[in-house]
Amino acid sequence: MKVLIAPDSFKGTIGSVECARAIAEGWLSQRPDDQVILLPMADGGEGTLEAIQFRDGGATRVPTGVRSASFWLLLQDGTAIVELANICGITHLEQLDPLHASTFALGSVLNEVIIHPGVKKILIAVGGSASTDAGVGALIALGAQIFDKSGKLIALGGAGLLDIASIDLAQIPSAPAGGIVCLTDVRNPLLGEMGSARIFAPQKGADAEQVLLLEAGLSHLQAISERQDFSGAGAAGGTPFGLNLAWNIGIESGALVVASIIGLPAAIGECDLVITGEGKLDSQSYFGKVLGSVTELAAEAKKRVLYCVGSSDLPISASTIALVDIAPSPQAAMANPGEWLVKAGAELAKAEL
């Protein structure tokens, strides 16, 4: 049997490559004659570069001069892939700072990417952000003059958005000929009950009062820029909204774009069984996330899917194993996910014997 293993990372515990290898080790311990193919996945957040580079041997790692970012990827067709989580994501912070965390470092990296002679198109994986600054920090790094009433640059971070009096984008460099696309796993607008501040800022450390302040800042930016809100504008603390002020960006499903780059649809078509998974299975897992996207692609190809997850908020069937159900405790599962992923892979394989 030919088995395709295509999990997401288990956020904060183990990357998608290590996850796929661990599941494969467990599977082969019970079914050594099976052919196992590893295609680690990502949805436009943490691990996007890792997943693409694992599959695409022709991808070039381009180092950056930005201290917080190690590299971006340049594909052979001239597509640059930049990962926000790898530059100024939430894992970079020792302590959450919802009012002052910014996307400035992202803009610094984009400055380098845009002038690279081999770049024809830019994909920005925006998931995993730490800020709610609507990408304004990135715009300032790119050369935007965003001033307060006294004519000084506003302070970085979401709290600074309330001080915006004027926006001058004349010095921002042009996008490459192929354009700029944000990859995301959500379609939330910038503002409102389903907007960036109300839905995502609490995950970045904001309390109720800070959420209201951040929402006010985003609303002020939208009003002074005189731009319409749009689906996906609220991803990554509103980063697509800000970048769209400078460029006419596109927004696409991170999971589906990564799947296309690594050849996942074709690989699913050639296998007998698919295994995917993520750290936590919940009501959002089937909407733009890796698990849901892999499931949809497998359904189109009429392939069966097994699941390996860290934990689940949903009832699980015999086709799913949660690490918290086989480890002594949730803490044990998180402390050594590789060990329990091996055991989970073995348990899934035993069910196929």
pLDDT of 68 above 80: no
- Same structural domain, 13 and 96: no
Q: Quote the CA–CA distance of 88 and 51 in Å, as a whole number.
A: 19
Which pLDDT score is estimated for 336? 95
Regarding whether 200 and 177 lie in a shared domain, the answer is yes
Instruction: Please give the distance of CA 264 from its chain centroid, rounded to a whole number.
Output: 18
One domain, residues 129 and 90: yes
Cβ partners under 8 Å of residue 129, min gap 6: 84, 85, 88, 89, 90, 103, 204, 236, 237, 239
In the predicted model, what is the mean pLDDT of residues 266-278? 97
Q: How far apart are the first and last CA of the chain?
A: 11
Identify whether residues 339 and 216 lie together within a single domain. Answer: no
Residue 224 sits in the same domain as residue 282? no
The predicted structure's pLDDT at residue 286 = 87
CB count within 10 Å of CB 116 equals 15
How many domains does the chain fold into?
2
The number of C-alpha atoms within 13 Å of 235 and in the hemisphere containing its C-beta is: 30
- Here the tokens at position 125 are 């994986």
Rounded Cα gap, residues 353 and 347, in angstroms: 10
- pLDDT tens for 27-54 read 999 999 999 999 999 999 999 999 999 9
Check whether residue 193 and residue 282 sit in a common domain: no
Alpha carbons 336 and 253: distance in angstroms, whole number: 31
Q: What is the pLDDT of residue 318?
A: 86
* Residue that terminates a domain, selected from 254, 272, 305: 254
Residue 50: the pLDDT is: 95
Q: What is the model's pTM?
A: 0.94
Q: pLDDT value at position 11? A: 85
User: Is residue 69 over pLDDT 80?
Assistant: no
CA 342, distance to chain mean position in Å, is 25
Q: Which two tokens stand for residue 285?
A: 């897992």
User: Would you state the structure tokens that stand for residue 85, as one six-digit string?
Assistant: 């989580």
The answer on 25 and 93 residing in a single domain is: no
| Distance separating alpha carbons of residues 96 and 37, to the nearest angstrom | 38
Question: How many other C-beta atoms are found inside a 10 Å radius of the C-beta of residue 151?
Answer: 9
The boundaries of the domain holding residue 317 are 2-39+263-350
Read off the pLDDT of each residue in 264-289 and give the average, rounded to a whole number: 94
Q: What is the pLDDT of residue 199?
A: 96
Do both 114 and 142 map to the same domain? yes
Q: For residue range 319-345, what is the model confidence (pLDDT) as tens digits? A: 999 999 999 999 999 999 999 999 999
| Same domain (yes/no): 17, 103 | no
User: pLDDT grade, residue 56 (50/70/90)?
Assistant: confident
pLDDT digits (tens, 9 = 90+) for 162-186: 999 999 999 999 999 999 999 999 9
Residues 245 and 103 occupy one common structural domain: yes
- Final residue belonging to a domain, choices 254, 280, 303: 254
Do 144 and 211 share a domain, yes or no?
A: yes
134 lies in the same domain as 247: yes
Q: Domain boundary at 203, 222, 254, which? A: 254
Q: What angle do CA 178, 297, 55 make, to 5 degrees?
A: 60
- Output the domain CATH number for residue 132: 3.90.1510.10
CATH number for the domain that contains residue 315: 3.40.50.10350
Quick one: average pLDDT of 115-143?
A: 97
Residue 288 pLDDT > 90:
no
